[in-house]
C-alpha cells in the first residue's frame, strides 16, 4: 500500500515541479531536502539550483555532504552565509526562535532567486512537520517559500521509502536539526555553545553511535541516543572516553538520558507534543 501511495505522490510532485519552470531549493543535505532536490533535478534539469546556508548552527559535515551530492549530480550549488547568529531575536532563544531564523533565511533565498532569474523557492517541509512545533513553517509561508513535499502530503516514511528506491544514500540518514535546538528556550545561543554541541555529537558519531543529540544545559551535557544504543554507552569503555572528551570541550557533568532520543524533547516545556525516536 505504501508503495502505491508514495509513487502516486511522487508523480504528483514531479508534475507540480515541472509547472514551476525553474526552482531554487533550500538544500541542507538531509533526507528531505536531498529527496526534493533529486526529484526537482529529474523534473527541471538545469533549471533547478541548490542553495545551502553556512552557519555555526549546522555541522560542517552536513555542508560537506551537501556539496558532494550536488557535485556528483552536476547541480548548480550556491553556498551563502545565513548570519542568523547576528539576530538578537534568534540569539535570545525565545520559543519562536525558528520563526526569526527562517524569516531571515527565506529573504536571503528570495534575493538569490531574483538575482538568478529563478521563479520559485522551495524548502523541504513534509507532512509530518505539521504534527510538531515548527514556527519556521509560518515564516516560510509568509515570505512565499513553497513546500512541494508538504503540498502532495508526503510523510517522512514515504520520503525514506522513495529515496531508497531512487538510490539516494540519505534514505536512512538520521534526522538532523539545527544545533540551536539543543539549547533550552530562554538560554542565550552563543557560538561557543554551538561549537561544543557540534564537537560532542561528532565525537559520538565517530564512535559508532547513529541517532544522537547532545542537549546543552549549562555545565551539563544531556546525551540522547537511540534506545538500542543506550547500553552501548552505559556498559562499555566508551563511557569513559565520552566523559573525558566532553569535559575537554567544557562540560562539567555528563548525563545519559534513559528515555533515549526524542525529537524536539525541549519543546516539552512549551506543552507541545514531541515525537519519540
User: Does one domain contain both 135 and 262?
Assistant: no
Q: How far is CA 169 from the centre of its chain?
A: 16
Residues 56 and 192 in one domain: no
State whether 119 and 73 are in the same domain: yes
Last residue of a domain, one of 172, 207, 229: 172
95 and 228 housed in the same domain: no
Find, among 71, 81, 76, 65, the residue nearest to 40 by Cα: 76
Question: Which DSSP letter does residue 23 get?
Answer: E
Please indicate, yes or no, whether residues 204 and 88 belong to a single structural domain of this protein.
no
Same-domain pairing of 154 and 225: no
Shared domain for 53 and 137, answered yes or no, is yes
Using DSSP, how many helices (H) and how many strands (E) does the chain show? 11, 9
What per-residue string of b and e applies to 162-197 under the rule 16 or more CB within 10 Å gives b?
bbeeeebebbebeebebbbbbbeeeeebeeebbebb
133 shares its domain with 261: no
- Total domains in the chain come to 2
Element housing 49 (H / E): strand 48-54
List Cβ neighbours of 183 (8 Å cut-off, separation of 6 or more).
93, 189, 193, 197, 215, 216, 266
Q: What is the pLDDT of residue 274?
A: 53
Task: Enumerate residue ranges in the chain where pLDDT < 70.
Answer: 1, 271-277
Residues 168 and 76 in one domain: yes
Q: Can you give the pTM of this predicted structure?
A: 0.91
Write out the residue range of the structural domain in which residue 239 sits. 179-276
Mark whether 255 and 134 lie in a shared domain.
Answer: no
pLDDT at 277: 45
Q: At what angle do helices 156-165 and 2-18 cross, to 10 degrees?
A: 80
Residue 111, C-alpha cell as written in the block: 534575493
Last residue of a domain, one of 172, 193, 226: 172
- Choosing from 152, 172, 192, the residue where a domain stops is 172
| CATH number of the domain residue 259 falls in | 3.30.300
Which domain CATH number covers 81?
A: 3.40.50.620
pLDDT at residue 133, rounded to an integer: 84
Q: How far apart are the first and last CA of the chain?
A: 24
Give, in degrees to the nearest 5, the angle at Cα 128 between 69 and 260.
85
Please check whether residues 17 and 97 belong to one and the same domain. yes
- Residue 272: the pLDDT is 56
Return all residues near 249 (Cβ < 8 A) that are at least 6 apart.
Answer: 196, 199, 200
Q: Are residues 163 and 108 part of one domain?
A: yes
Task: Give the single-character DSSP code of 117.
Answer: T
Q: Look-up: residue for cell 566508551?
A: 238
Amino acid at each position: 500500500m505504501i508503495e502505491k501511495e508514495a509513487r502516486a505522490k511522487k508523480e504528483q510532485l514531479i508534475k507540480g515541479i515541472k509547472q514551476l519552470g525553474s526552482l531554487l531549493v533550500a538544500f541542507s543535505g538531509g533526507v528531505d531536502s536531498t529527496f526534493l532536490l533529486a526529484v526537482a533535478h529529474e523534473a527541471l534539469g538545469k533549471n533547478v539550483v541548490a542553495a545551502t546556508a553556512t552557519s555555526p548552527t549546522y555541522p560542517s559535515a552536513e555542508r560537506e555532504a551537501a556539496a558532494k551530492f550536488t557535485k556528483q549530480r552536476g547541480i548548480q550549488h550556491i553556498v551563502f552565509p545565513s548570519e542568523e547568529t547576528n539576530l538578537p531575536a534568534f540569539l535570545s532563544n525565545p520559543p519562536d526562535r525558528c520563526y526569526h531564523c527562517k524569516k531571515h533565511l527565506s529573504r536571503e533565498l528570495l534575493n538569490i532567486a531574483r538575482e538568478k532569474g529563478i521563479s520559485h523557492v522551495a524548502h523541504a517541509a513534509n507532512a509530518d512537520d505539521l504534527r510538531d512545533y515548527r514556527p519556521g513553517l509560518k515564516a516560510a509561508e509568509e515570505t512565499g517559500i513553497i513546500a512541494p513535499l508538504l503540498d502532495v502530503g508526503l510523510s517522512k516514511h514515504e520520503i525514506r521509502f522513495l529515496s531508497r528506491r531512487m538510490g539516494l544514500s540519505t534514505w536512512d540518514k538520521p534526522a538532523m536539526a539545527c544545533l540551536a535546538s539543543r539549547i533550552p528556550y530562554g538560554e542565550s545561543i552563543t557560538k561557543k555553545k554551538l561549537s561544543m554541541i557540534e564537537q560532542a555529537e561528532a565525537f559520538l558519531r565517530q564512535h559508532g553511535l547513529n541517532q544522537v543529540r547532545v542537549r546543552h544545559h549549562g555545565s551539563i551535557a544531556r546525551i540522547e541516543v537511540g534506545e538500542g544504543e543506550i547500553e552501548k554507552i552505559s556498559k562499555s569503555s566508551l563511557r569513559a572516553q565520552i566523559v573525558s572528551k566532553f569535559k575537554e570541550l567544557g562540560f562539567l557533568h555528563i548525563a545519559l538520558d534513559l528515555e533515549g532520543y526524542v525529537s524536539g524533547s525541549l519543546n516539552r516545556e512549551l506543552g507541545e507534543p514531541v515525537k519519540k525516536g
